[in-house]
Amino acid sequence: MLIEHNSNRDSWKVDRDMMHLPMHATLPDGRHITIDTITDGQISDMYSLIVAAAVNGHGFGVDEYPTEKDFRKEVDGYPSFVLCGKECGKMIGAFSLIDSKFYRGTENKLVDPIIIVKKSERGKGIGDFIFRQVVLFSKRLGFTGIYTDTFSNNHAMMKIIERCPGFQRVGHFPLGGKMPDGTLVGANLYFKDLRNISEDNTLG
């Protein structure tokens, strides 16, 4: 098994050997990176990136994770991964695969990913790259589908999702989150079914 999971989310245990972690890959700009399970210290770094994004109105609400404790409570026990430059070792981005709240039941496991890219790394195709890793890892870890939502003013993320094969827009929330200036924005919901497709065809 690539992952063990019971009803308690604290039981998630990624089989690093079968997942081939650490995984080495090449970004669209030619840089070599390493993808690995996130460390405790890197969770703090991930939170800092999310706070910076929220303050600038980029993909996260300003009151979404008021404290690092709130963020850790959200991701604790779930599979989380980090992308670091192979040479410098610095974080480029990260993602957590938490259970989706849009599926009510225990028979199927659907994922709701949390994704962040370092501000200085945006606009380089890294968001597309990470999102595809999210899909691949979700399939490998046994999730049966992906629900992901993004603010309706986050046009870059909507393009990333819509470029990824198999995702359908399935809903819209009039109130999705709060921006730095206090305005409220809606959110669009997307879904991809991971059942009955092989890993080779996950991104096709």
Q: How far is CA 38 from CA 93, 142, 184, in A?
A: 11, 19, 32
Class of domain 3-144: alpha beta
For residue range 175-185, list pLDDT tens digits in order. 999 999 999 99
Q: Which amino acid is at 32?
A: H
Q: Output the average pLDDT for the chain.
A: 91
Residues 101-130 have a mean pLDDT of 93
72 compared with 104, residue with greater pLDDT: 72
Residues 25-46 have a mean pLDDT of 96
Task: Give the tokens for residue 126.
Answer: 């890294």
For residue range 146-167, list pLDDT tens digits in order. 999 999 999 999 999 999 999 9
On the question of pLDDT at 43 being above 60, the answer is yes
In this predicted structure, what is the pLDDT of residue 204? 59
- Residues belonging to the chain: 204
pTM of this prediction? 0.91
Q: How far is CA 67 from CA 32, 43, 91, 143, in A?
A: 33, 13, 21, 29
- Residue percentage of the chain with pLDDT more than 90: 81
In this predicted structure, what is the pLDDT of residue 5? 46
